[in-house]
Amino acid sequence: MRRLFLALLLASGAAHAAIDLIDDQGQAVHLAQPAKRIVSLAPHITEMLFAAGAGDRVVGAVQYSDYPEAAKKIARVGGYTSVDMEKVAALKPDLVIAWKSGNRDAHLGKLKALGIPVFINEPRRIDDVAKSIAQLGKLAGTEAAGDAAAQAFRKRHAALSAKYSARPPVRLFYEAWNRPLMTVNGEHLISDVIRLCGGENVFAKLPVLAPVVDTEAVLAAAPEAIVASGMGEERPEWLDDWRQWTRLSAVARGNLFFIPPGLIQRHTPRILDGAERLCGQLDEARARR
């Protein structure tokens, strides 16, 4: 009888170990047990896995997966748009976590054809970051750590929203890159950060998530502030190219700001660090009116 009870208990535990989640593409993902060998196909996914307490389960990652420091030691499987399928397969993952906007459908199709579960991640709102961390913790069997990190993120987000979201609006142009001149529309996560700080994205209504615009369109939009990110930790020189347009409000008032891309372009807990910087910058713009 005792052996039968133990067998039933173990069977019950195995059943509870199974995981079923709906990913950000609306697809059902089933794991018989928490993933122990995970391949991440985007830098922000790698960072969120560490935030969820699952960093030691990541066996492969794409280029630029550089945060936290331990992520730099993970085997590389190419870039997010140029995944090396052979390297991924050689790592024998029991789960691949992909980025809807960044990874190619052909790559994801091949992974699924190999029988590898693929979970699609695509945060579009700040709270989606918290949701993603909790989901990744569940997939990796680090649910307690993931839930705690998600809760801490939401608490900090709420505090920033209470402090800044109702402040007088500031019309803002976010310059993701200069050649071509790229920005984001209202559906992008960065626009949610702008809204959090009481800002208004001057190109929010464009239909493309990361549209290319021209100088004339920016001048016509007449932003009160311009915020650039660039590629690295240093303020890009091309941000000062706007100084030639002396009648532009953002230039006349000295509202040309910079935020490191790692703090605002990645869908990770550090997005709130970027939000704090942006909120402070928009307060500077308000003070210069």
CA distance 237 to 275: 22
Q: What is the DSSP letter of 168?
A: P
CA distance 88 to 182: 32
Q: What is the pLDDT of residue 3?
A: 57
Contacts of 159 (CB under 8 A, 6+ apart): none
Q: Collapse the DSSP code of 185 into the 3-class scheme (helix H, G, I; strand E, B; otherwise coil) and give the result.
A: coil
Distances (CA, A) of 53 to 36, 50, 145, 159, 261: 12, 5, 6, 24, 24
Q: Decide: 153 and 47 in contact? Cβ < 8 Å.
A: no
* Burial of 122 per CB tally in 10 Å (0-12, 13-18, 19+): middle
CA distance 10 to 91: 29
The pTM for the full model equals 0.89
Q: What is the pLDDT of residue 19?
A: 95
Q: How many CB atoms lie within 10 A of CB 147?
A: 17
Assigned token pair, 168: 């007088």
Q: What is the pLDDT of residue 102?
A: 82
Q: What is the DSSP letter of 76?
A: B
Average pLDDT by stretches of 10, the chain with 289 residues: 49 64 95 97 97 98 96 95 92 95 86 93 95 98 98 98 97 96 96 97 96 98 96 90 97 97 94 98 98
User: Rounded to the nearest 5°, which phi and psi values hold at 171?
Assistant: -75, 125
Q: CA torsion 147→153→154→160, rounded to 10°?
A: 170
